[in-house]
Structures are given as C-alpha cells and as structure tokens.
Structure 1
Amino acid sequence: MKIGITDCGAKYPIYERWILSQSPASGVSNIETVRLSYKENNFEQIKQCDGIVLTGGEDIHPKYYGKPEAINLCNSDFMDEQRDEFEWKVCEYIFEKKLPVLGICRGLQLVNVFLGGTLISDIPSVGKSDHSKFHEGQDRYHAVEVLHDSELSKITNIVFGEINSAHHQSADFIAKSLKINALSDDRIVEGLEWKDADFEHYMMLVQWHPERIINAEENSFSYKIRQSFVENIQSKIQ
C-alpha cells in the first residue's frame, strides 16, 4: 500500500518513521510513503495513494474559516498560505475519492474547516489552559477523556488517559458531519470523527501527536491509532 503524508518540513521524517513502523499485533508492513508537498509540485502523486496522513504544522489562515479578523491571534511567522492552498486540494481529493484519512493536530483543524467548521484562533485568549509546547520546545502532557460512543473509544479502549499537546489553536464550531470524540479537562476538542456511524470512508482526527508520543509503541493513543488506520487501508485494497 502507498500512504501519502503531507509535507510539514523538518518534522516530516517523524511521521514517516511512525507510519512505516510495525505496530504490535499488526501484520501490516508492506507500506510505502509518498511525500505530498507544494514545494515539490507533486499533487498528481496523490493518485498513487491508498490513504492520506494530514500532518501538523503551521496555523491555517483564518480566511479559510471566515474569521479574517483573527489574523492577529495567529502566528504570522508560522503560517504558509501555499501549504493551505495545496492541502485544501488534498482534502478535495480525499473526500471526492473517499480515501482513508488520518488528521493530526493541524490535520484535524484543516478537515474541520474544510467541512464547514471553525477554529479557536488562540486558546489562551479565550481563557483556557495553554496547550502549546513549553518554551524549551517540549510537548506538554495533559489528561483526556474519550467519549464512550465513539470510534476512537473502540480503537483505544480507553476512557481517561494522557496525551501530548503542542497547539495554540483548536476546533471551535464543529462541522455538521463530524462529532467530538475526545476532550481535555478544560473542554478543548482533542478528537473528531464522522457523526454518522455508517461513514463512507475511514477518518480519524486527533489533536495530539501520536507520531511522537512517549512510549509510542506501547501507548494506545499512538500505536492503536496507526494500526486502525493502516489496517483499514489494507482491508480496502484487498
């Protein structure tokens, strides 16, 4: 199988290594990756892909979710409108072709916006806890509740746990076709999935970073997410 991974710069190899790793209890190992990037002008390569990982990274320009005035709450040094435009096309392809998709951090936010939702442009500015990295660049870790009636609950078999956190934005208004599957203690959205259980194609959206979570090979918020994604792709192409 071939899995497309959107380009996120220097951290791209972390996602690639994670996707190529073999999870416990999973026999899926025949994986190749495709780096999808506007810098390589290789959108056409998405046609080779059986599934897509939408990676973390820059703030999405608020014009995409109807809040251009929120630009002052975004990190102007951490925005890339060319990436926004490229990955918008990736989303168009995903939902037209019904490809399995895993959205991570920015990836969750992008899909929510693409499907009609909005974002909190800066979490601390609305009086919530800081979910961004510590000043020295380390991920924060905080508690999360997985909602019991969700696909995420079935995948992880966890109700209360701990995840890593490295974001100053989050989902606000949730797209009508999606539902929340995980929340932090201060009720920040930590995961989204299809609202309708009879979804047409696999989609899991998480606000944390399963690709670099501590003890990823043993942590259900990491390896089970990957396992669910790749096994779904495997079953689709067989």
Structure 2
Amino acid sequence: MKIGVTFSETNYHNYPRWIKGNDENIDIVELSYEKNNLQDVANCDAVVFTGGIDMEPNEKVDYANAPETFNTKRDTFEMEVLAKALKSHKPILGICRGLQLINVYKGGTLHLDNGESKNEIHKKGTEDKKHQVQVEKNSFFYSIVKEETGEVNSSHHQSIEKLGTDLKAVAHSEDGVIEVIESTNPEEQFLLAVQWHPERMSDLESPFSKNIRKALIEKICN
C-alpha cells in the first residue's frame, strides 16, 4: 500500500509516523515540487495533503499574520496533485492547509485572517490551541468518528469563507468556523478534510485522530 503525502516545511515527520502507525505494509511517497514527482501520484493508493504556510492569495493584498514569503511552487504543484488524484478517484485526505487547498481548488474562498477574537481560540503563539467541534449527525464524517462533539487541536489563522462546489461543511467550531468538509457524494469520492491536525493531537486515540486514519486505510483496502 502506497500513500502519497505532500511535503510540508514544518513538522513533516509527524504525518508519515501517524499514517504508517505500526503497519509495515504502508509505504509513504513524499510528493513535492522539489522532487517534481507528479507522476508518482499514479502509483499511490491515496493522497494526504498536509498543513503548512498560507497559500498565496490570487490578488496581492496585505493581511494580518501573513507569512513573510509564500511558496507559489508548492501551491501550483499541490493543485496539480489534487487534480490528478481526483481524476483517478483516489481517496483524498486534507489536513489544515490541505482543507483550504481543496476548498480553493473547488472554487471556494478563504478568510485570509480570522481576526483577533477567533485567533485567540484557533491560533495564538507557537503551541496548538484546543477547542470543541460540533459534527453533523447525517454526515459521512459522523459515520467515521461516531461522536457529535469532540475536542481537537488547532493551529490556523485562516478558514473557509465561501465553500467550494461539490463540498459539504459537516463540522464547525463553537464560533462558527468550518472544521470539516467532505464530498457531497462520499460513496463516489472519498474526499475528506479537517481543519485541525490529527497527526499531532495529544490524544492520538481520540476518534478525531485515530478514526480518520482508520477510515482512510479501510477505504484503500476495500
């Protein structure tokens, strides 16, 4: 089993460790613009889009907490990876920036900065924040976690503004931020993305971490 994982400049090691677990049958394929290995997507059984630096906005604009520089090459490469994965109906999981990338690819937009009050809840300083999420019971994601509420970690200052086409928002934080998106037709396309970081939660046994990984692996095996 081969799972493609897009390279992130920060904490990349957490993703392969979480995805592999103790399963020696899982091989990680690092996908990055530096390797220029778009062709490797064809050999992957699923693709995970990781967190990291803000995507570059379509129009140059100053906004709060913007990075000093963007990585346009990464943005472009990962859009191409996503297009290829969707075309071949590969299972797709997005994490933090990965959720935002999927939404933008699907024609959605982002809040470039959530604002001071939301940042107090979702990102402040270098340590992950923690907050509750509310899950829609009639969603594919609920069938995975089997919980209507749960605590997740948080390290983001951007979030979905307008939802992209063929996507459904199925979990929110208490202040209304979209925390989970999925395909409007999950039976046809496993497309799931979360705004938190399941790969580095303090409780990796939480269904909001463990069950996400399990669902991805089971989809590949089935």
TM-score if structure 1 supplies the norm length?
0.88
Determine which of 77, 81, 85 is the counterpart of 2:76. 85
Aligned counterpart, 1:214: 202
Aligned counterpart, 1:43: 38
- Matched-pair contact (CA < 8 Å) for 2:63–2:112: no
Q: Distance in 1 between matches of 2:121 and 2:57?
A: 19
Aligned counterpart, 2:146: 157
Aligned counterpart, 2:181: 192
Q: Distance in 2 between matches of 1:12 and 1:87?
A: 15
Q: Which runs of 4+ in 1 moved over 4 A?
A: none
Note the C-alpha offset of 1:215. 1.7
Determine which of 191, 199, 214 is the counterpart of 1:227. 214
3-state SS of 2:144 partner? helix
Note the C-alpha offset of 1:43. 1.7
- Give ranges in structure 1 of 5+ residues lacking alignment: 23-27
Note the C-alpha offset of 1:10. 3.9
RMSD of aligned residue pairs (Cα, Å):
1.7
Aligned counterpart, 1:147: 136
- Give ranges in structure 2 of 5+ residues lacking alignment: none
Deviations 1:95-114 (A, max 9, x none): 11111000000000000110
Note the C-alpha offset of 1:234. 1.2
The aligned runs of 1:1-238 (5 Å cut-off) are 1-22=1-22, 30-63=25-58, 68-73=59-64, 75-77=66-68, 79-124=70-115, 128-135=118-125, 137-197=126-186, 199-216=187-204, 218-235=205-222
- Matched-pair contact (CA < 8 Å) for 1:132–1:140: yes
Deviations 1:180-229 (A, max 9, x none): 111001000000001235x422111100000000120x110001000001
Q: Distance in 1 between matches of 2:69 and 2:179?
A: 21
The structure whose residues are more often helix, as a share, is 1
3-state SS of 1:35 partner? strand
1:97 aligned partner, one-letter code: S
- Matched-pair contact (CA < 8 Å) for 1:112–1:175: yes
- Matched-pair contact (CA < 8 Å) for 1:131–1:167: no
3-state SS of 2:214 partner? helix
2:169 aligned partner, one-letter code: I
3-state SS of 2:162 partner? coil
